[in-house]
């Protein structure tokens, strides 16, 4: 069983029950629903199919809000040196670059309505517009996003991703929904403010598509590594996204560079790798999941446990001690009774070699742990006290079939159990 998670985007190629079932069978842990496209009726039907077809397997749903994305409102025929009119938001200045269709067409602002063509091309309506040097005066959440978010809450999605985050405060309104918020890092301002964003968010997405247009392309690999390291240290799940196996939209096998990209993200410590157009519109959607799973399986044995200093935070010290103890005594698993998933995330950030088995009474926690590296989550009736945990954890752990009978295991949890955000108990026992 691979421990790095796979996120797959649903789209026209994978909307059917047969396709969703095949993707789950191939190893998808989280489905991304892209609210830049489709209707609420479409997404509601997809959510129903995912829940029904997943059965007992914990498969989470990530709602990806569109955000303030600018697009061409009409086709554009642009020739170098010409002056063209396109919709420009407030905050652009004369001389600012404007990139269309992921940078294939390059313009320069003349005034509030007009641009000079630097690199031309013919584009249909709907292509994206990026303003990499402009500080735009636009809200983080649009009216469409608010309607979509209300729909996602009503449908019971497990995570919501916010596009074009620039600062930590951009997350505030979405966090009030009660859903865990994944901040998409794809703006220069977000790169500048990445530490505060990681602290504020419940998860991070390295959204390399728009990021690679908004900042110089040579900076993207370094920013990716910094974001993964920051998220790991904070115990926040991080998704590496965009064009991981892009050639499999049309071809049955990826390039060697793409395979290396996936493996390097795993070795950097990403919690999840994401497929976008590969599964949304690709000819080889299920095959792309299978290939990704095989690449992960080859890379993961090279991933060493994290041994960085846990500092003085008691939860970090206890989770580090549980992982070190498991390594030293040859334990076969780390068992984590948890209501919120907090302790399981703290253990997972250490990347232990043995399985992390989370026991939770909360179905929403079980599903949300599907985005966290290396955690096998099981729903159980809640334990009344710490003695109950130490007496009753064995049967649900045995049911996972991940640990042979008679094996040593390390149990770590927070007491009292009803208090989220506490890890203060470590216990060694035999299954």
Pairs from 404-408 (Cβ < 8 Å, separation ≥ 24): 404/332, 404/431, 405/431, 406/430, 406/431, 407/331, 407/332, 407/333, 407/431, 408/329, 408/330, 408/331, 408/332
Q: What mean pLDDT is predicted for residues 232-257?
A: 96
Distance CA 231, CA 186 (A): 16
Pairwise pLDDT comparison (200 vs 125), residue with the higher score? 200
Q: Give 293-315 pLDDT, tens digit per residue.
A: 999 999 999 999 988 888 888 88
Structural domains of the chain sorted by starting position, each given as residue range(s) with its CATH number in brackets: 5-67+140-299 (3.20.20.60), 70-130 (2.40.33.10), 314-430 (3.40.1380.20)
Q: Verify whether residue 176 is a known catalytic residue.
A: no
Distance CA 142, CA 18 (A): 34
Mean pLDDT of the residues in the chain: 93
pLDDT band at 385 (very low <50, low <70, confident <90, very high): low
DSSP class per residue in 45-58:
HHHHHHHHHHTTS-
Count of CA atoms in the C-beta half-sphere (13 A) of 227: 33
Q: Which of 3, 116, 184, 187 is catalytic?
A: 184
Distance CA 362, CA 343 (A): 14
Q: What mean pLDDT is predicted for residues 405-427?
A: 78
CA-based nearest residue to 32, from 239, 187, 247 = 239
Q: What is the pLDDT of residue 310?
A: 83
Q: Verify whether residue 368 is a known catalytic residue.
A: no
Distance CA 307, CA 288 (A): 33
Q: Which of 32, 116, 236, 351 is catalytic?
A: 32
Q: Which of 2, 9, 240, 242 is catalytic?
A: 242
Q: Which of 52, 57, 71, 147 is catalytic?
A: 71
Please confirm whether the linkage preceding 416 is cis (ω < 30° from 0). yes
Classify 95 in phi/psi space as left (phi over 0), alpha (psi -120 to 50) or beta: left
The CA R_g of the chain, rounded to the nearest whole Å, is 23
Q: Verify whether residue 184 is a known catalytic residue.
A: yes
In what side-by-side order are the strands of the sheet with 375-379?
375-379, 356-360, 333-337, 408-413, 425-430
């Amino acid at each position: 069983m691979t421990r790095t998670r796979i996120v797959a985007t649903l789209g026209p190629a994978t909307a059917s029950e047969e396709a969703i079932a095949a993707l789950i069978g191939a190893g998808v842990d989280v489905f991304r629903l892209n609210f830049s496209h489709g209707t609420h009726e479409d997404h509601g039907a997809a959510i129903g199919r995912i829940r029904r077809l997943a059965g007992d397997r914990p498969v989470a749903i990530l709602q990806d809000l569109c955000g303030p994305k600018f697009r061409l409102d009409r086709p554009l025929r642009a020739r170098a040196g010409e002056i063209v009119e396109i919709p420009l938001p407030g905050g652009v200045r004369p001389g600012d670059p404007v990139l269309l269709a992921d940078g294939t067409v390059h313009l320069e602002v003349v005034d509030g309505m007009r641009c000079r063509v630097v690199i031309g091309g013919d584009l249909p309506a709907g292509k994206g517009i990026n303003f990499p040097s402009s500080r735009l005066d636009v809200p983080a959440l649009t009216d469409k996003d608010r309607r979509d978010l209300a729909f996602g809450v009503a449908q019971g999605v497990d995570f919501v991703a916010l596009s074009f985050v620039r600062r930590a405060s951009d997350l505030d309104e979405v966090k009030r929904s009660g859903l865990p918020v994944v901040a998409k890092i794809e703006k220069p301002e977000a790169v500048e403010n990445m530490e505060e964003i990681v602290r504020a968010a419940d998860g991070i997405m390295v959204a390399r598509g728009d990021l690679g247009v908004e900042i110089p392309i040579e900076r993207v690999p370094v920013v990716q590594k910094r974001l993964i390291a920051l998220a790991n240290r904070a115990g926040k799940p991080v998704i590496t996204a965009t064009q991981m196996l892009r050639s499999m939209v049309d071809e049955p096998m990826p390039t060697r560079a793409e395979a290396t990209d996936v493996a390097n993200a795993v070795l950097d410590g990403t919690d999840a790798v994401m497929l976008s157009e590969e599964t949304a519109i690709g000819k080889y959607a299920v095959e792309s999941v299978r290939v990704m799973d095989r690449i992960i399986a080859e890379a993961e044995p090279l991933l060493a446990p994290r041994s960085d200093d846990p500092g003085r935070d008691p939860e970090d010290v206890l989770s580090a001690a549980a992982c070190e103890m498991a390594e030293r005594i040859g334990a076969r698993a780390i068992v984590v009774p948890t209501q919120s998933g907090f302790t399981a995330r703290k253990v997972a950030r250490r990347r232990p070699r043995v399985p992390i088995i989370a026991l939770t009474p909360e179905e929403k926690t079980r599903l949300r742990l599907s985005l966290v590296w290396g955690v096998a989550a099981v729903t159980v009736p809640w334990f009344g006290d710490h003695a109950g945990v130490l007496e009753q954890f064995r049967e649900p752990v045995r049911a996972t079939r991940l640990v042979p009978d008679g094996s040593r295991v390390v149990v770590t949890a927070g007491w009292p159990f009803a208090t989220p955000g506490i890890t203060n108990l470590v216990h060694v026992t035999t299954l």
